[in-house]
């Protein structure tokens, strides 16, 4: 079973559209993350979230919003997509007091 | 969060030992040092974590000097499949909702 799963794996969409990427973890972790990896391969934290606190990277546009229906899910909603949003988005999870974070396989978003 | 500095890239032949050093001069007392590995088209994967001295697991060793201002990831007898980007992270990752902040990493190329 996949520990952290993201859907879809690939997403191609037009500018101006609204899209969502789903993330689920079956590890019982209490903290989940979203990262963006652009064409230069720099892995940038977007959000860090547990059931108590949301930490937002202040450089992330407010067109991006995390939604967590429960502890096992952290979905990423993106409004009014722009060309610069094209990147690979990774979801990850971790238990607060533990060391290791587990990453999903990534979602390659292409905005045309 | 402590800033980290690593070489941008390294090359090695198969079968050699590879040492990747990370500088983190402003590491805090509560900070741990964690290394992740990322293969192309995959999410990062935890390799090893340490606080001081030496830590060894089935994949790698981590050497941390007494002042903790640097650390060295050692990969014994690398193979072609070890070609990846290696990230050094420094932070209090075992406490609270602490984002995992990735630097630019070191791109290791293993040559036959």
- Domain layout of chain B by residue ranges: 9-111
Q: What are A36-75's pLDDT values in tens digits?
A: 999 888 899 998 888 767 877 878 999 999 998 888 999 9
For residue A71, the model assigns a pLDDT of 87
Give the number of beta-carbon pairs within 8 Å between A and B: 67
Task: List the one residue out of A96, A94, A81 whose CA is nearest residue B43.
Answer: A94
pLDDT of B16 > 90? The answer is yes
Ordered structural domains, chain A, with CATH:
4-111 (2.60.40.10)
Q: Which two tokens stand for residue A56?
A: 């937002």
For residue B1, the model assigns a pLDDT of 61
What mean pLDDT do residues B36-61 have? 94
Taking an 8 Å cut-off on Cβ atoms, the answer to whether B99 and A57 are in contact is yes
CA atoms of A7 and A106, how far apart (whole Å): 8
Q: Which two tokens stand for residue B112?
A: 């036959």
Q: Which residues of B touch A57 (CB under 8 A)?
A: 99
For residue A24, the model assigns a pLDDT of 97
Taking an 8 Å cut-off on Cβ atoms, the answer to whether B102 and A57 are in contact is no
pLDDT mean across residues, chain A: 92
Answer whether CATH 3.40.220.10 is correct for domain B9-111: no
Main-chain dihedrals φ then ψ at residue B85, nearest 5 degrees: -105, 135
Instruction: Give residue A98's pLDDT band: very low, low, confident or very high (50, 70, 90).
Output: confident
Taking an 8 Å cut-off on Cβ atoms, the answer to whether A43 and B44 are in contact is yes
């Amino acid at each position: 079973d996949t520990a952290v799963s993201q859907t879809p794996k690939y997403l191609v969409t037009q500018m101006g559209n609204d899209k969502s990427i789903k993330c689920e973890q079956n590890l019982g972790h209490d903290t989940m993350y979203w990262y963006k990896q652009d064409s230069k391969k720099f892995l940038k934290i977007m959000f860090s979230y547990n059931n108590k606190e949301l930490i937002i990277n202040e450089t992330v546009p407010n067109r991006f919003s995390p939604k967590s229906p429960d502890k096992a899910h952290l979905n990423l909603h993106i409004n009014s997509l722009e060309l610069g949003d094209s990147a690979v988005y990774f979801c990850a999870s971790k238990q607060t007091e533990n060391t290791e974070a587990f990453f999903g396989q990534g979602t390659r978003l292409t905005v045309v | 969060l402590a800033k980290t500095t690593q070489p941008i890239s390294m090359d090695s032949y198969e079968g050699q030992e590879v040492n990747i050093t990370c500088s983190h001069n402003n590491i805090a007392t509560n900070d741990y040092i964690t290394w992740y590995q990322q293969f192309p088209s995959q999410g990062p994967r935890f390799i090893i974590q340490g606080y001081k001295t030496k830590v060894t697991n089935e994949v790698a060793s981590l050497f941390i000097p007494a002042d903790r201002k640097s650390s060295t990831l050692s990969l014994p007898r690398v193979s072609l499949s070890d070609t990846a980007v290696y990230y050094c992270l420094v932070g209090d990752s075992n406490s609270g909702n602490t984002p995992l902040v990735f630097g630019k990493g070191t791109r290791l190329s293993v040559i036959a």
